[in-house]
Chain A
């Protein structure tokens, strides 16, 4: 059941990932990090740093990472696995307000999200901790729900809580 691949040992303090659906076309993830937002923003916008944490599934690793964090700047992420397969996405930065907000478009090479999505990252800081909210806006509800079907991770996590509840009730 658990993925076999072992990640580096992790310090505690990791917040829990919350996944919600604020509207028909959106999926939002919220996570708290024990660091000022200046650093969280830096980790999100510095390609060398991103490569160290922005993993794909299982053995996939971020092989190409371009994020020109200026309005109109290019975004390109490409993950590869040990068998040499790759998957990637491209986009453009729409809004950059360091260290609180970053907005960019995304479209997967194989377009499994039914068109372009808009990703909004908001970082708020409180007592040295940063709450990150990542909202993905799909082109339509069916695109969002379709993302669930094809295995796009943002979409896939969304109904997890409801499903867990469903399973509990059936046990």
Chain B
């Protein structure tokens, strides 16, 4: 997981992943599209590959890279959990607010009373 995040946290690698969303591509094409030098792209691809984010197949002389979904799915689930933490809190806040509103209505006139 940390490996996936570290691999994605580098802007050029993120770009590569974004580029590969469109489907597998040969290294040469990525070099061209990203405006990076070949050794740089190869280095990034190696990191992505070690993190399991991409795989490679060799087609004649060309190395063609494609995305692997598994680590991204794992990441999505993990991130979704953190989003739900906030959402769960805010749903509780909704409930607290309903209570505060009801109390205010009941009291009609404003009278200081400790909440809860």
Q: Chain A residues in contact with chain B, CB under 8 A?
A: 1, 3, 7-8, 10-11, 13-14, 17, 19, 29, 31, 33-35, 39-40, 42-43, 46, 48-49, 52-57, 145, 148-149, 151, 153, 156-157, 159-160, 163-164, 166-167, 169-171
The answer to whether A33 and B116 have CB atoms under 8 Å apart is: no
Known interface pairs A11-B95, A53-B93, A167-B72; A149-B87 also in contact (CB < 8 Å):
no
Q: Chain B residues in contact with chain A, CB under 8 A?
A: 2, 5-6, 9, 17-18, 21, 67, 69, 72-73, 75-98, 100-101, 104, 114-116
The answer to whether A8 and B82 have CB atoms under 8 Å apart is: no
CA distance A170 to B17 in the complex (A): 11
CA distance A92 to B38 in the complex (A): 49
The answer to whether B115 and A49 have CB atoms under 8 Å apart is: yes
The answer to whether A48 and B115 have CB atoms under 8 Å apart is: yes
Interface SS of chain B: helix
The answer to whether B100 and A42 have CB atoms under 8 Å apart is: yes
- Chain B residues with CB under 8 Å of A8's CB are 92, 95
Give the distance to chain A from B80, nearest Cβ to Cβ, in Å: 7
The answer to whether B76 and A163 have CB atoms under 8 Å apart is: yes
CA distance A35 to B95 in the complex (A): 11
The answer to whether A170 and B79 have CB atoms under 8 Å apart is: no
Give the distance to chain A from B108, nearest Cβ to Cβ, in Å: 16
